[in-house]
Amino acid sequence: MAVLNICARTRTKARPERLSVVLLGLLSLTWLALSPGRAIAQSANSEGSTTASGPSATQNTGNSRSVNTSSPIMGNSFRGAAVISPVTDPGPYFSAPMGAQHFLGDWAGAQPWLLKHGIHLLAAINEEFAGNVTGGKERAYSDTGQFGIEMDVDWDKLAGIPNFWTHAIVVNGHGQSVSRNFGDSIAAVQEIYGARGNVVAHMVAMYGESAFYHNRIDVSAGWIPVGSFFAASPLFCDFMNVAMCGNPIPNKSTEGNRDWPSGNLGAVVRVVPTSDTYIMAGLFAVSPHSYNGGISGWAWAQSGLGKFSTPVELGWTPSFGQHKLIGHYKIGYSYDNSRYKNLYEDANGNSWQATGLPARYEAGRNSAWLIMDQMLMRNGEGASNGLIAMAGAMYSDGKTVAMRDHTWVGMIDSGAQWGRPLDTVGAMWQHFDMSRTAALQQESSLALNLPFQSNQFGPVYGVQSHEDVYELFYSAHVARAMAVQPDFQYIQRPSATTTFHDAAVFGVQFTVVL
């Protein structure tokens, strides 16, 4: 597989000053993007023609497949799980996320030697600063960051073992989400935070991969983040909001479909019937704990691993016209055979908070997704060098998951039109509907004068219904393998309630591959 993946006051209408903040944010980012003083000479053919911000990199490495990937240690997830090249290509199904780009060059000759021996080694730094200038329960700001190391080994080159590769990722993270500080537990504005534990080295992934029949069958097994293979897209981590980056919610907030940096013991099999279609299925042990593998990610033999999640995904990756306008269309379903507490009902269908009886257990949990993106206009080589429209939806079982569904629409483009082909600009709208079962529980808490119960997405501040997030970013390539990304997000109904005013958040992201 390709590797380098949160009832006090109410308000009836938007205030004019809130809308002014939105317009100010859009104008500010447009100025930052187009200001001549910020321009840096770029060449689409330099250093492998990749987008140095990481999330939309596309590359070729020797005889490897051309894979549209983005670095998990740059942006939360494995990439390219659904990008299929001709099945007759016998090369490995991964490549380094930034192609030939490294800020420190070829590491004094070490990189070419390592690649010759089948060792893809990458180290990257990601820092994200964000703060809300208005709205929320308080003004707040924070910095979150991560240092990560990834190693992918082609054992054919290293030891003569054909069609076998291993992948490992370890990260160190710091900081806390500013969204939690200003009262939004649904869609954190920073992608890098939490789940890494207060440890020096958090294990994200460690697994082996083997391909058969000219790569028509590909098998991976070991410690794998489920959401990094299923319902994933190389475009998602162009955006800074974690509800989208890596893998959409609600799936990655549930025990059976964790995403990066949490892993599950399991296996994935992909069958490639044609060069532009695939069928992928997985079997993963479900961890009933808050941290899969413990806080460090290394405790794989956790207690309570007797249940399984079984995701399945079908994908089509067509290429239209003489300009090869690439699209990605995928539909998937996952079933977790664990038993989970109903958020509201006891065994008799009444509020368990009111009756004092135990909550009823539901057998199994379902989720489904539909994800699409299509290049509309090409302005350079590579799978993501062009104007791309994207949309999708994800559904989860509202009886046991506090969010019922998540929908989104967005667009991204490179800066080729204004002479900066390594830059990326994008905009997205996300909508989140909370489940009716969760709202019934919260209404019961309110009626009984009890504290609201936290759920999969964090603290609850009122009866939850829906939330909208608007995001605009510009990722500027400022040096080899280095990018700075101003980002603006507007959050309507933080935490899916009317308890706090809409929040406007300015942020900046810095990424570099060493």
Cα(237)–Cα(227) distance, rounded to whole angstroms? 13
Compute CA distances 173 → 122, 190, 196, 387, 486, whole Å: 17, 13, 6, 33, 21
Q: Is 184 helix (H, G, I), strand (E, B) or coil?
A: coil
Question: What's residue 47's pLDDT?
Answer: 31
Location of structure tokens 């009836």:
12
- Point out the residues of the chain with pLDDT beneath 50: 1-41, 43-72, 74-99
**Under a CB-based contact definition with an 8 Å cutoff, are residues 240 and 220 in contact?**
no
First vs last Cα of the chain: how many Å apart? 23
Element (H, E) at 444: helix 436-447
445-475 as b/e: b if 16+ CB within 10 A: beeeeeebbebbbbebbbbbbbbebbbbbbb
What is the Cα–Cα distance from 110 to 108, expressed in whole angstroms?
A: 6
Place of tokens 């009626």: 447
Domains parsed from the chain with CATH numbers:
107-513 (2.40.160.180)
Residues in a beta bridge with 316: 277, 329
Structure tokens at 37: 């003083």
Q: Report DSSP letters for 225-268, one per residue.
A: -GGGTSS--TTGGGS--TTTSSS-TTGGGSGGG--TT--EEEEE
Q: What integer pLDDT is reported at residue 196 of this predicted model?
A: 63
Q: What is the pLDDT of residue 198?
A: 63
pTM (predicted TM-score):
0.82
Write down the pLDDT at residue 287: 82
Q: Which residues of 389-401 are buried (b: 16+ CB within 10 A; e: fewer)?
A: ebbbbbbbbbbbb
What are the structure tokens assigned to 42, written together?
A: 């770029």
Give the Cα separation of 150 and 143 in Å (integer): 23
